[in-house]
């Protein structure tokens, strides 16, 4: 049985570069998790660790680094919105992953407010608005558990079906149905 821990005394036969390389072989979708700071300014960061947790009650989660400036800025609002990026939004993936959490991440980005007030990025594949249910510390990350309060997947993609953005081995790509 594993237990929650923050220590770094795990004996492993591999280093963190190898861990990162192997885990990079697991493809993920790409989201921008957004929220508002106390002064009402929008914040957001690129997150691949988004996951659905529970249907009843509806819960989702994601894992920001313990020292994440973006999470610290938005945490006190008690809510966040997950934006699932489309394969036309690779520029937003890199823009919201750039270190240094200043307001410029939202420059030239079209967005509107979710019911919580958190930003919904225009033309994202889907958005999921949440209130923070719990925050657990796990190793060098938090696990933020959110109760879903509103969600939709009705963005305008110029009449075309939305296509998600995928991340694999450090690069971005698209989804190809195989059956």
Q: Which residues of this chain interact with ligand FMN, rule CB under 6 A?
A: 30, 45-49, 63-65, 68-70, 93, 97-99, 101, 167
CA atoms within 13 A on the CB side of 160: 10
Neighbour-count burial for 37-67, b at 16+ CB within 10 Å, e otherwise: beeeebbbbbbbebeebeeeeebbbbbbeee
Q: 113: which residues sit within 8 A by CB, 6+ positions away?
A: 119, 120
Q: Which of 86, 106, 98 is nearest to 175 (CA)?
A: 86
Nearest distance in Å: CB 84, ligand FMN: 12
Decide whether 70 or 116 has the Cβ nearer to ligand FMN: 70
Decide whether 120 or 144 has the Cβ nearer to ligand FMN: 144
Nearest distance in Å: CB 168, ligand FMN: 10
Decide whether 79 or 89 has the Cβ nearer to ligand FMN: 89
* Cα 88 to the center of its chain, rounded Å: 17
Q: Is the dihedral angle over the CA atoms 127, 132, 136, 142 positive or is it negative?
A: positive
Nearest distance in Å: CB 62, ligand FMN: 6
Decide whether 115 or 168 has the Cβ nearer to ligand FMN: 168
Nearest distance in Å: CB 66, ligand FMN: 9
């Amino acid at each position: 049985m594993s237990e929650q821990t923050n220590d770094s005394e795990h004996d492993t036969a591999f280093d963190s570069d190898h861990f990162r390389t192997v885990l990079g072989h697991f493809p993920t979708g790409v989201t921008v998790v957004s929220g508002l700071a106390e002064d009402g300014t929008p914040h957001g960061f690129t997150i691949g660790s988004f996951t659905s947790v529970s249907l009843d009650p509806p819960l989702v989660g994601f894992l920001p680094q313990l020292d994440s400036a973006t999470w610290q800025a938005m945490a006190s609002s008690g809510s966040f919105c997950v934006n699932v990026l489309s394969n036309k939004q690779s520029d937003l993936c890199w823009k919201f992953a750039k270190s240094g959490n200043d307001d410029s991440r939202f420059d030239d980005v079209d967005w509107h407010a979710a019911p919580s007030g958190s930003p919904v990025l225009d033309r994202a594949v889907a958005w999921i608005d949440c209130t923070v249910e719990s925050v657990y510390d796990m190793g060098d990350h938090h696990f933020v558990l959110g109760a879903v309060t509103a969600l939709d997947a009705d963005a305008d993609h110029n009449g075309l079906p939305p296509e998600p953005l995928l991340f694999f081995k450090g690069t971005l790509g698209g989804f190809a149905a195989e059956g």
